[in-house]
Amino acid sequence: MAAPVVTSTAPDSVAVSVFRDPDRDEGGEIDRDWLNGFALISETRTLDLPAGESVVRFEGVAEGMVAVSAIVTGLPGGVVQKNRDAALLSPASLLDGTLGNRVHLRRTKRATGDVTEEEAIIRSGPAGAVVLQTSAGFEALRCTGIPESLVYDGVPKGLTAKPTLSVTTRSPAAQRVTATLTYLSTGFDWASNYVARVAPGGKTLDLFAWLTVANSNGESFADASLSALAGTLNVERDFDELVESPLTPRLNLTCFPTGSGRYGQPLLSPPPPAPAMVGYADEGAENIVVTGMRLREAKASSPVAVVAEQEDLGDLKLYRVPIPVSVAANGQKQVALLTKDDVPFATIYRLRVDVDDEFDDEAAEILLRMENKKSQKLGIPLPSGQVAVFEQSHGMELLAGEGAIRDHAIGERVDIVIGESGQVRVAIENYATPGKDRHSYRATVSNANPYAVTFELGFDYHEDGQLDSRLRKLPRKDGLPTWTVRVPANATRRFDYRVRASGG
């Protein structure tokens, strides 16, 4: 006799821990069309087990489940075997599974709305024209110009409406148990999105960050305990190679012999809905989003109620959302990650060049520099992400630039490049010295701003022998000899140096 089946249609509670795409550049954006991160999902389910052997079906697992990673605990008899049920219910799989069997063909008359129904036998599968045999003979489905649909008496064996993991277990007695299913799943990713608002005067800024989690699976995780992990894991296996993706063939109906419907248009099953990518939501929307102003107003009463809490997990940083949230299918979730006010910063103009470069005119980069220290109003781990910088102008808040930051530990310098300057320009000219193997260079920086600026010129080189004494004596920033100078308003500054030709 077949073992009885115990079906769990949904978890009682679920925890979703999302890891970033390990191959995404630090500061890079989420590719919403191709999520290459993953998640560790832990589901708690209540089961009523019969005595003896039974098959437990965990329905509604993520379609990106890595089945070989699945661990089930809490079953008194343990797990005898497990199977990933990958054949999903769809119009095409229904047709294929009912091939050769009787169904009901329902037609609706356009003029009167009358509905008729007759028995039919499916004689061909879902690829191309679906041939039906009725009492009148053979015909192709939906090729008469009359609205038609098929009605099935039941679901063919082996099909499931939801991605399902089945396990076989043995229980010493009939009992109710609480089991935990834990597994890895592909189709997730997360990133930080920072908003920096520069205060009047340009000396401090308010820094706010979103934690953005994306899910490309077709399953939602309601009221989940959500967390995100920052750091790089050593991934030895390609998860995509381990995933048994659910089989959902698409139904494509055509009318022979022309390959078109009665009115010359292909008859296709409706495409899946487009991913519901949610941006900044208004109050009352499904996403938990809090603007910087609302967050500041909420500090006095609930300072951590809506902000992800940071924890250490080995060398990784874990950000736990303190309230249950829903991670929607094919959607995006945003919660507040951090907020820091009145952070002092400096605006630096910078250019990095090869030591033997020469050019007539080049724009300097504009970067904002902060120190990630408590004494400088920061002093927290900063996960990599995109940054949008806003400044006040005539009473309006305008976008001043965008950039990216890498992961920063406490105590590090934080440089955010937000664009190029049209006012601070650099030229490097070469003065060859006849008969010698050295070349003389002059770097000129000009500042057209009505205020003084700090400028840094970093020199990249191939061999130590290329550098003369002036270059060797320069302080190093990010490993490069760097000339730092204060350039007055509407003024220029020059730096002369000599370089030996590479390999000379």
pLDDT tens, per residue, the chain with 504 residues = 578 889 999 999 999 999 998 888 877 888 888 888 999 999 999 999 999 999 998 988 998 888 888 999 999 988 887 776 655 555 665 666 666 777 888 888 877 888 888 888 877 766 666 787 788 888 878 777 778 877 877 666 655 667 888 889 999 999 999 999 999 999 999 999 999 999 998 899 999 999 999 999 989 999 999 999 987 776 666 555 555 555 555 666 666 554 443 333 333 333 333 333 333 333 333 333 333 333 343 333 333 446 888 888 887 889 999 999 999 999 998 999 999 999 999 999 999 999 989 999 999 999 999 999 999 999 999 999 999 999 988 888 899 999 999 999 999 999 999 999 999 999 999 876 665 656 889 999 999 999 999 999 999 988 777 788 899 999 999 999 999 999 999 999 999 998 876 554
Question: Which DSSP category does 382 fall into?
Answer: B
Instruction: Let me know how many helices (H) and strands (E) the chain has, helices first.
Output: 4, 31
User: Tokens 């509604």 sit at which residue?
Assistant: 60
User: Tokens 């490993």 sit at which residue?
Assistant: 479
Tell the burial category of 402 from Cβ atoms under 10 Å away from its Cβ (0-12, 13-18, 19+): middle
Give the span between the Cα atoms of 304 and 307, in whole angstroms. 5
Take residue 225 and report the two structure tokens written for it. Answer: 């305990």
User: Tokens 């490309």 sit at which residue?
Assistant: 216
61 close to 183: Cβ distance less than 8 angstroms: yes
- Bond from prior residue into 257 cis (ω within 30 degrees of 0): yes
48-57 in b/e form (b: 16+ CB < 10 A) is ebeeeebbbb
User: Tokens 């590090």 sit at which residue?
Assistant: 412
